[in-house]
Amino acid sequence: MRLTALFILMFVVFSVALLGYVGFQSSIEIQRVQARDVAWEIRQLRNLNRQRGTRALAVAVQRLSNQPGRGIYYLGNPSGQMVAGNFRFIPSYILLEPGQYSFSYSPQRAFEGFELSGPDNADASEDGKRAQRKAQAVVRSLILENGFRLVVGRDIVQRRDFTIIIVRTMLLGVIGIILLAALAGVLTARRVLARIETINATSRKIMSGNMSERVPITSRDDEFDELAKGLNEMLDRIESLMQGLKEVSDNIAHDLKTPLTRLRNQAEAALREGSTDEDHRQALEKTISESDRLISTFNALLLIARVEAGAHSDGLGRVDVSRTVLDVCDLYAPAIEDAGGLLQLEVEPGIYLNSSRELLSQALVNLLENAIKYSLGSEARQPGSRTAHDGEREDDVSDPCKRSDELKRIIVRVEQDAGEVRISVCDFGPGIPAHEGERVLERFVRLEKSRTETGSGLGLALVSAVAKLHKGSLVIRNNPSAAAFKASSGPGLCAIISLPKIP
């Protein structure tokens, strides 16, 4: 309503200013036209007096007097007595001194000495009770060469009446504008408030705990519907985040309960009577091992949080992706070989990104560890137990690949195409169901329901966070090469990180 009142005020002010300007200019223009007409008539009458004489002058003045309109004409002899014209009551000072004058007069004096009767004059007595109507005249007087007094002018009441009509019309128009605008404002406000109340009602239901409520959308597809769509998308996102938070909380509780229980049991066993120093030592070693797993889980959570918050975005620089991938693969190749597998590299050289070498390395490490764990088994050693490759070039890796089982390979590719760089890690393991491709990127999501195997379900979540930090994405899909080899172990898995190239 306040906004409507503001628009009404602005419109009224503009309308008043516009109509006032039109009325003022119209009055000025009428005044100019009257002044030009009076000047033209005076010139004509003066020329007529010079060329034809006084008699022709008197005839012309009388003719002008007989014309309809508000013209004022007076022709007097040198003594001031009226010879011709239509206005007898010219003030004497106008006749004595030539010039332009303005004076008031009463039109009622024209009917003095006459008694009028009949139905058209039934209100004559009432007119007599009122003050005589005053009129205003603007005239020019001059004394001709023969001494005659000539006065020509106009009654400006008509001009003033026109101005009054404009003002009255303007006032009526402003009142009508205010009434119509107020009515339109009320109807508009009721409609707007009804839509807003719908949003408020939905908000109250959501605040009461019903997260499935959504703002209704009409078929009008107007601005409120656009707002409703945006709010509904936001609510969908909030509901998804809250559901994810609930799942994360449940998973954290489950994953932390087991190692903490083991820690307690080990400490309790070490304190039992009859425990030897060796028992104490083993209990402490197991406690340290479980503590390391807990610390690793929390470090992964903190790293994901920092990456998603963009804490590493300031450290991005020009990185040789090809060299980074080769360095990580050199570190993991012995562990893969010890597990009976083979690391196959298909890396295009000289690929650069505006990236973080540390984060890219960590993302590739997570993908390789997943591939080793699920496609080669848990017997693979952790990297670092011996020197990787001992100076061998990456080209040497492809030769034993041809002599080993095709299904024991882990393929790492780095390629660039169509303005992006793709880093992929593919294996020939059991893969994952197609409908789980998005869910496995969430924190603490593990497809192994019993959750007895090692791991925290944070590896792919960290890789996804790193990809998003680089304005890219992580896609999980089945390995197409597995179908070509008719792998019986499963459809295989490909994890592909797509990142935009440096301009």
User: In CATH, what number is assigned to the domain containing residue 260?
Assistant: 1.10.287
- Is 394 among the domain residues? yes
Contact 437, 477 (CB under 8 A): yes
Rounded to two decimals, the pTM is 0.47
342 in the same domain as 399: yes
Task: Give residue-wise pLDDT tens across range 154-199.
Answer: 887 767 777 778 778 877 877 887 788 778 778 877 888 888 888 8
Order the strands of the 71-76 sheet from edge to edge: 82-85, 71-76, 149-155, 135-143, 99-105
- Is 213 among the domain residues? no
Alpha carbons 458 and 442: distance in angstroms, whole number? 8
Contact 213, 232 (CB under 8 A): no
Average pLDDT taken over every residue of the chain: 76
Number of structural domains in the chain = 3
pLDDT (mean) for 20-29: 80
Q: b vs e for 199-237, b when ≥16 Cβ sit within 10 Å of the residue's Cβ?
A: eeebeeebeeeeeebbbeeeeeeeebbeebeebbeebee
471 in the same domain as 344: yes
CATH code, 454: 3.30.565.10
Alpha carbons 48 and 54: distance in angstroms, whole number? 8
27 in the same domain as 10: yes
- Residue 162 exposed, middle or buried by CB count within 10 Å (0-12, 13-18, 19+): middle
Answer whether residue 250 shows pLDDT above 50: yes
CA distances from 91 to 39, 101, 117, 249, 370 (A): 21, 10, 31, 106, 117
Query: Strand 342-347 to strand 149-155: parallel, antiparallel, or no bridges (unpaired)?
Result: unpaired
- Is 7 among the domain residues? yes
- Is 355 among the domain residues? yes
> Residue 98 in 3-state DSSP?
coil
141 in the same domain as 243: no
395 in the same domain as 298: no
Q: Name the nearest CA neighbour of 256 among 302, 291, 282.
A: 291
Full domain range(s) for residue 344: 311-500
292 in the same domain as 160: no
pLDDT (0 to 100) of residue 151: 92
Residue 386 binned pLDDT confidence (cut-offs 50, 70, 90): very low
Residue 130 binned pLDDT confidence (cut-offs 50, 70, 90): very low
